[in-house]
Amino acid sequence: MTIELTKEARAEAIASIERYFAENMEERIGNIAAGALLGFLLEEIGPSIYNKAVADVQDKLQMRIAEIDLEVHEDEFQYWSRQAKVGKPGKARR
């Protein structure tokens, strides 16, 4: 799966790469080289980042599902227990 960026995001990423090289490397990098580096990173490393993000979302959803179960869970077969607590008069059948 190829990770595609919007035109705006790609332009910002290229500008960020150029700035990084200007501030942290001995040599500057041009726009075309920065675009090529971005393409390489998206193709080579992007899937690892994407897969990690998907796994993180799955974990978060599983935690939320567990919370929902706790919030909406109802104990089953509680009629007779409630009746015993209320002390409702009537015949006791067994």
pLDDT tens-digit readout, 50-73: 999 999 999 999 999 989 988 888
Over 60: is that where the pLDDT of 90 sits?
A: no
At 53 the pLDDT is 96
pLDDT average, residue stretch 17-37 = 97
Q: Report d(CA 9, CA 46) in Å as an integer.
A: 14
Backbone angles phi, psi at 48, to 5 degrees: -65, -45
pTM: 0.67
Over 90: is that where the pLDDT of 38 sits?
A: yes
- List the end-to-end C-alpha distance of the chain, in Å, as a whole number: 65
DSSP string, 74-90: --SS-HHHHHHHHT--S
pLDDT tens-digit readout, 70-81: 888 888 999 998
Name 91's Cβ contacts closer than 8 Å, sequence gap at least 6: none
Helix 7-24 and helix 31-44: axis angle, to 10°? Answer: 110
Over 80: is that where the pLDDT of 88 sits?
A: no
